Amino acid sequence: MSSDTTLPWSDLKMSARIVAAAFKRFARNGFAAATIREIAADAGVSAALVIHHFGSKDGLRRECNRRVVDFLRDKGRPDASAAERLDAVFVQYGSYATRAVAEDSEESRELFDVLLGMARAVVAEGAESGSLRGSSDPDAQAMALLVLGLTPFAFSAHLTRWADAGLDAAMARLAVPIAEIYTRGLVTDSGLLDAAMGVRGER
């Protein structure tokens, strides 16, 4: 059971504070630009302690990734649908996960693959229940669902600047046109789809 990052700061053990600070810095600045000294300062500890607990900067990232994967596979609520789980990950770890998979392809493949597997489950679920329109390429549909879902987090800085509001409010405003697209489509003729199918040589 991973500790919830919404718990009061003072209740967290030092190692948990470090992880929480790492999530924030990695999400905001990216792995390469974030420094151990920054993270340590945010957590109120020394840089040496970070190494003591996690071995290295890479070990700290592994711990962060592990927590996201654990959260996604959380056995605590086996009744949750795939869509609910994926959505919960977006809400809880969206900014971090987006940065993590976007930045370092070598070490974040497992994280991405786990997310993609969950997206596949969402597509299968939706096809069965009829809540999602089927695609000619369900596997690609799952990929599209995942990357489109991660999108807002990838540009969160510009989003908040554009909306002149916090991330939540900005995402809420962006959610409207995206929901419109998901519900009614965006283009009015089949030219785009024909072109996309044509490139693949399909009919």
Q: Which is nearer to DNA, 49 or 143 (CB)?
A: 49
Taking a C-beta distance cutoff of 8 angstroms, is the pair 102, 29 a contact? no
Q: How far is the CB of 98 from a copy of itself (least distance, A)?
A: 8
Taking a C-beta distance cutoff of 8 angstroms, is the pair 111, 66 a contact? no
Taking a C-beta distance cutoff of 8 angstroms, is the pair 98, 53 a contact? no
Q: How far apart are CA 122 and CA 142, in angstroms?
A: 8
CA distances for 21 relative to 35, 69, 195, angstroms: 11, 18, 46
Pick the binder of DNA from 4, 58, 84, 139 (CB under 7 A). Answer: 58
Total interface residues for a copy of itself by CB under 8 A: 64
Q: Which is nearer to DNA, 56 or 136 (CB)?
A: 56
Q: How far apart are CA 17 and CA 15, in angstroms?
A: 5
Residue 157 interacting with a copy of itself (CB under 8 A): yes
Name residue, tokens 């993590």: 100
Residue 132 interacting with DNA (CB under 7 A): no
Among a copy of itself, DNA, none, residue 165 binds (CB under 5-8 Å by kind): none
Pick the binder of DNA from 35, 131, 136, 151 (CB under 7 A). Answer: 35
Residue 144 interacting with a copy of itself (CB under 8 A): yes
Instruction: Name residues contacting a copy of itself, limited to 82-111 (CB under 8 A).
Output: 98, 101-103, 105, 109
Residue 49 interacting with DNA (CB under 7 A): yes
Q: How far is the CB of 20 from DNA (least distance, A)?
A: 14
Residue 70: count of CB within 10 angstroms of its CB: 12
Rg (CA), the chain: 19
Which residues of this chain interact with DNA, rule CB under 7 A?
A: 14-15, 34-37, 44-49, 51-53, 55-58
